[in-house]
Structure 1
Amino acid sequence: MSMLFRNFTLESIVERYRQAARAAVAIMCNMCKPPQQEATKSCMDCKASYCNECFKFHHPWGTPKAQHEYVGPTMNFRPKVLMCPEHEMEKVNMYCEVCRRPVCHLCKLGGSHANHKVTSMSSAYKILKEKLSKSIHYLISKEDQVRTQISHLEVLINETEENGQVAECGAYEHFERLFQTLQERKSEMLNSIEQSRTRRLEQLRGQVEEYQGMLENSGLVGYAQEVLKETDQSCFVQTAKQLHTRIAKSTESLRTFHPAADPSFDEFVLETSREETMLKELCFGGVPEPPIIDLSRSHVYNEGLLCWQLAEDTLATDHQVLEYRRLGTEQDGDSRWRLTDRVYGPSTVVCDLEADSLYSFRVRSCRNSLYSPYSPEVTFHTPPAPAFGFLFNDNCGFSSERLALSRRRDSVESMAGMAFLLAAERVQTGSYMGLDYIIGDTGISQGRHYWAFRVEPHSYLVKVGVASDSKLLEWFHNPRDTSSPRYDHDSGHDSGSEDTCYDLSQPFTLLTVGMGKMFLPKASISAGSDHGDHSNRVLPMPQRIGVCLDYDAGRVYFYDADTMRCLYERQVDCSGTMYPAFGLMGSGKVHLEEFITEKLVVTCGSRLKITLTEISC
């Protein structure tokens, strides 16, 4: 506590309030003998209050006490000078900007603030006062906004009270239904027990009466003894025949004695341990935390794969419920939230999504019948056409020296090895090194289809697009074509400009990606440009690139696959079967997206595949 500064500003404010509180109670002289007089002065050096007569007596003119500092009547005799907590005899006269506290000159010379930046107290006073004034002025200028926010908070308070009452009523109704159900089951079981008990008692009591008849001088035995006394033979025979039958049955019953009813009620013993455990596990003390949808693992194509993460510091949840709706369909009346079935895991698949549409998704958890708040909503844009699945085909101009396929054939990597360096050494002025090409294993001959892929950021140069089977045959039979794999790069042939070569001579319609950038062709019209404005041909490379081929319209589109924004489109000659095509130069890698839907089998150019296989061999 000794290292803390006193806050004189706060002391002054408190003292003003104290003086206002003492306005009705006068400060009395500390030196007067009873009765005390009201004080008129207070000496800050003597730390006492005096009336006029006592002050003159204790501070006579011409003595050192006459030089004491005196003020009006007060109870605050603390000094008004701020002293350094590290050097008690030194006043603070500087301000340390690093520690943001007042210091003395000894702290700056050799103390704990020797290497800190300090400024004068007057400068710090001016700067801090200006900042405080601006902050106060800002708060005053935002008075209307504060009042608006207060009104909003009051509305929220009212809504909280109302919603709390609604929740209480809902919980009360739920428990009342449970109590009513238990009461009904209780009444039903007690009624069954009562009926069973009455029936068993009747059976046992009837059996008791039957056995009592076997006793001497009572019942059946007594009646039989009287019949034996009958001397008339005909009357005896007539009565004894039926009586003998009854006695025989009683004798047999006596030999094989068995109670007419079971006295135990074991069949009515309830096993409620499971229900009791479930009721005890109903914990209403904490609402589960909302999940967070993982954008890096969630993808939406023909179907949506939504993944989420649960809070690590929460208890296990029972299940999750995903809700989704299509945005921008208020006029169609289809903007309502749709629910999936209960999900017992961190992901689910949503089916029947419409193409080229924007969907919003949210998820919440349930634990012990309590639902968490909804997760923040995320939006996904579905592709403009059905997802087209394919793998890489290594039978069409594939260079095994410079290209490597993954085991699943869903990624291809270009290796800038010795062959690439040797080719670079033979490059002459005006010439270039050719690309290594690879196409998809499935062709498209009708309809509109979409596929997506990732280009690794470190890739040097990658071209992506579509290729025609009819032009591929011509391309493979033309060894002088500079873009053909059979072209001799050491011939010194000047291929001309890049755009002319790759847009006219080769059978591919390709877009250039590399070094973290996307390059639009010169003689092209971007989907977002107006009047042929091509001033910005370089775009940041999207994390995922989508391609849409409209075979019937003869047009190809390139998209940012995350936002579904069309980056570039152009006309393409769809005279034959079209294949996804890729070209790589230098170090680079392309990875196909794994769609949620089954692999789409479109009409495939089998004749082309055989021909190209024979050529490559």
Structure 2
Amino acid sequence: MEEMEEELKCPVCGSFYREPIILPCSHNICQACARNILVQTPESESPQSRRASGSGVSDYDYLDLDKMSLYSEADSGYGSYGGFASAPTTPCQKSPNGVRVFPPAMPPPATHLSPALASVPRNSCITCPQCHRSLILDDRGLRGFPKNRVLEGVIDRYQQSKAAALKCQLCEKAPKEATVMCEQCDVFYCDPCRLRCHPPRGPLAKHRLVPPAQGRVSRRLSPRKVSTCTDHELENHSMYCVQCKMPVCYQCLEEGKHSSHEVKALGAMWKLHKSQLSQALNGLSDRAKEAKEFLVQLRNMVQQIQENSVEFEACLVAQCDALIDALNRRKAQLLARVNKEHEHKLKVVRDQISHCTVKLRQTTGLMEYCLEVIKENDPSGFLQISDALIRRVHLTEDQWGKGTLTPRMTTDFDLSLDNSPLLQSIHQLDFVQMKASSPVPATPILQLEECCTHNNSATLSWKQPPLSTVPAEGYILELDDGNGGQFREVYVGKETMCTVDGLHFNSTYNARVKAFNKTGVSQYSKTLVLQTSEAIAIYEIKPIKRG
């Protein structure tokens, strides 16, 4: 259909024909374009003047020209044209399609007719922009030319077929209209399937997405390769054996080798495995994103360790300045110990960075290889390795399990200087490391998306911060009295979700939660405002027995 598009365009304006008319030379032109290329000829070149002078076109010529008359839809009679004239000497121009056309005539005075059908000046001449034959119009002007209704219908049908919607290839039940096509994956996607199976982040962002119509043309110009059976070279793979996990042809089934096996359509299995691999890649891509964020966190820890080290050194120097005479030699030893702790923390964090970087590079390499395999247009070749790749992707995803993305070292220095001894005890001055007590748990975070109210009850949910390394033994949930009064404990326990019943209707409550362990209690979480429902009156109607 795209090849015939140029045949449906006007040679003057370069667009699809609009209200096309047929010239005596059998060529077509838009009615408005015909109006624009009219040229007024001198009075001496009109058919009447030529016939009166006996020069130019003879009566025999006009008789022959009358035989070329066509039906006119304007008056349902025969339309006789004045005759073909010699080409005007006016300089010609070029239309958008490169065809020579003559400049438009002077605009006629306004009439009650439409611009395309308004009366034209006497002795007007029109030149065909394709064969360059000139025609002098009679008194009817452009109304004497018949309209090409058939060409108009063909253009309408062509534009409708061109706008036909393509369907998504990954929708399971009712395929939606496709919005893009990936040239590398050779798949049409709707917007939900594109976001689910073809995310715009990561290596898939390098794929070229084109409109569906353009993708249909490119798919037709580059047909898909069809692989043949290894046992029967003249047969193409058309089915997939589920037990053997390999593509087969019809002849393989007829010979009985796979007769008792479960066999499915090759295209359906190709689509299924592609969808499984795409979904597995989505999970692995999320893990890779978490790994990148974890690396940023580790690099921030390096900077924080360095900042804490500088701060600790400054504090140590400030304490030692009071005892500077006696502490000069001891100060060097204490600084060395701090630096040793500093280097130890940096070494642990950097080793974890190196280990995580290597795993991330392996994961990225596997993802890029899988993406290249997805681009493979050969279903049999893809299915031969798809199962192994899917298992490998799941195995790699499992390697990023719990503990892998957890820091092995804290940024704090658990050292404290005791400067209370007297000067005579200066040589016995040493660090006191706080190992006896552990820190309090981190402040809990209320999960707003899970907190709600129903009638006169409220449900609250909370969790520990993702990077918290100190476990909590329990939680304390507090609510006020609904009038902005003091908070009171409504729950103490290990659960992270609690429903409180018996609240007042149409009241506003403030809720907060804190964590505790053997060391102490954490800070309160942010206060959450809850609004209970309005009271609903329930009436019970009992029948009265009359004696």
TM range (shorter): under 0.3
Q: TM-score, normalised by structure 1?
A: 0.17
Q: TM-score, normalised by structure 2?
A: 0.19
Instruction: Please identify which structure carries the higher helix content.
Output: 2
**Higher RCO, 1 or 2 (CA under 8 Å, sep at least 6)?**
1
Structure showing greater radius of gyration is 1
